[in-house]
Amino acid sequence: MRLKRDSQGNYSYEYVADQGDIAEAEQGLAAAQNDLYNFDKDRYQSNLDDMLSAWQEFQEQYKKIVTDVSLSE
Summarised one tens digit per residue, pLDDT across range 31-49 is 999 999 999 999 999 999 9
Beta carbons of 3 and 13 less than 8 angstroms apart: yes
Please list the ranges in the chain whose pLDDT falls under 70: 71-73
Q: Give CA–CA dist 36/70, Å, rounded.
A: 52
Give the integer Cα–Cα distance in Å for 72 and 70.
6
Q: List the chain domain ranges.
A: 2-65
Record the pTM. Answer: 0.59
Residue ranges of alpha helices (H) inside the chain are 19-67
SS3 label, residue 33: helix
Question: What is the pLDDT at residue 73?
Answer: 59
pLDDT of residue 72: 64
